Amino acid sequence: MMTEEDRRFLRIAYDEAQAGFDEGGCPIGSVLARGGEELARGRNQRVQRGDPIAHGEMDALRKAGRQKTYRDTTLYTSLSPCMMCAGTIVQFAIPRVVIGEAVNFGGNEGFLRQHGVEVVIADDPDCIALMNRFIAEKPALWAEDIAE
């Protein structure tokens, strides 16, 4: 179930995705929040930094720094997490993930659920449209991002 807080943080994740797209990178943004407060936001920076693991979720987690626990956080991401990011979510015991869209890329929602993560898929039209545009305009970069 999406709350107003969820919509607010998902919009920030979308804005991060748009910023990444505008920089020439992959449009995937993320926010880590606790109790209605933003801990950090990030975006896919693989192209910008030349770093193969600088995915949006990883960037937000890196910027959040060390946390005593993640068990009271929610991770917001504009696109369904890849296996690397899904594994990190499970490793850090992040209990809830709100996904902007899983139309253009998905498949790890079941993995997350199998490991006790609450998964909310927003089917956000802006997230879907931005990723559609990116895939159409930069198919080679998209293939590289998902290791195909």
pLDDT digits (tens, 9 = 90+) for 20-57: 999 999 999 999 999 999 999 999 999 999 999 999 99
Residue tagged active-site, from 57, 109, 144, 148: 57
Judged on CB neighbours under 10 Å (0-12, 13-18, 19+), 27 is buried
On the question of pLDDT at 102 being above 90, the answer is yes
- The strand ranges marked E within 35-123 are 37-43, 73-77, 96-99, 118-121
Q: How far apart are CA 94 and CA 11, in angstroms?
A: 20
3 state DSSP class of 84: helix
On the question of pLDDT at 145 being above 90, the answer is no
57 flagged as catalytic: yes
Q: What percent of the chain has pLDDT over 70?
A: 100
On the question of pLDDT at 1 being above 90, the answer is no
Alpha-helix runs per DSSP H in 23-82: 46-49, 56-64
User: How much is the pTM?
Assistant: 0.96
Alpha carbon distances (Å) from 134 to 1, 23, 35: 28, 12, 33
